[in-house]
Structure 1
Amino acid sequence: MSSDELTPIIEMDGEERYDYFLSQVGEEREIWILVNNDNRFLKIVSDDGDVEYLPVWPASEFATEYAKGADDLSPRSISLPDFFRKWVPGLTKDGLDVGVFPGLDKTVWITEAEELKRDLQDAMSDF
């Protein structure tokens, strides 16, 4: 995907990016996260420490674009079955939300893992 194709999508507002995320992941059946050199996933904590979330993207290109300037982050794919079976219970147990498709402007749609799972299952019924 070229930067000309990425830019209009990245510049969507949070709700539009959430809907785009659902349709892309529903079709491709994978979610993208960022991991560091130690294979630890990126977790974002708000300045006041009240909110912690796992940022996720619908394609590696978006994750790569978000990580520009961070030398130790690289995209990693998670299959949707693995996300549902392993990640959703783990995130829920750890009290970690999911930040769906953070924009370069740092806006993000934050939701609970179980709610994202339900939304993705609804989106997949369209395919």
Structure 2
Amino acid sequence: MSSLPPLLDVSAEQRLQATISSMVDMKEVWILKDDDGCVMLTSDDEDGVPIWPDEELAKLWATDEWSHCQVMCISLDDWLSKWTPGLMKDDLMVMVCPVPAEEGEVIMPEYLAERILALKG
């Protein structure tokens, strides 16, 4: 079980803070993928990739229409060096730690990278 605070009952902003802290501490981030690649979500005219700080939270999303998806761990280095530029190039956002009752913060990948790098020091 993860050492993160229970993120199901906190605000999207608190989940964002906890996810960034976890990414820096654990040096990883979790996504969902299927045979076509990473799962995408659409929120208020924004398309993006949902991310989670740990495997358990990602698995909570892998139900119903997403039940065929597998969780996938991405190293923080790969996220910063490959995923961030790719998301920026494709004009995609990052949906940070959506939970079943609420979508996560929707932020630009470069803003997420800035927050990560600021915390890494």
TM-score, normalisation: structure 2: 0.90
Q: Is the contact made by 2:4 and 2:18 (CA closer than 8 Å) also made in structure 1?
A: no
Q: Is the contact made by 1:11 and 1:103 (CA closer than 8 Å) also made in structure 2?
A: no
Q: Which runs of 5+ in 2 are unaligned?
A: none
Equivalent position of 2:40 in the other structure:
43
**What SS does the aligned partner of 1:31 have?**
strand
1:94, 1:75 → 2: CA distance? 22
The 3 A distance-change label for structure 1 pair 15 and 67 is same
Q: Alpha carbon RMSD of aligned pairs, Å?
A: 1.9
Equivalent position of 1:107 in the other structure:
103
2:19 to 18, 21, 24: 21
Pair member with larger Rg:
1
Equivalent position of 1:52 in the other structure:
47
User: Runs ≥4 in structure 1, deviation > 4 angstroms?
Assistant: none
1:66, 1:8 → 2: CA distance? 15
2:59 to 64, 86, 107: 64
Equivalent position of 2:118 in the other structure:
122
Q: Is the contact made by 2:95 and 2:103 (CA closer than 8 Å) also made in structure 1?
A: no
1:92, 1:33 → 2: CA distance? 17
Equivalent position of 2:76 in the other structure:
80
Q: Which runs of 5+ in 1 are unaligned?
A: none
One-letter identity of the residue aligned with 1:67: A
Which has the larger strand fraction? 2
**What SS does the aligned partner of 2:30 have?**
strand
1:110, 1:33 → 2: CA distance? 15
Q: CA deviation at 1:7?
A: 8.5
Q: Is the contact made by 1:99 and 1:108 (CA closer than 8 Å) also made in structure 2?
A: yes
Q: Percent identity?
A: 32
Query: How many correspondences in the alignment?
Result: 120
Q: CA deviation at 1:10?
A: 1.6
1:116, 1:7 → 2: CA distance? 20
TM-score, normalisation: structure 1: 0.86
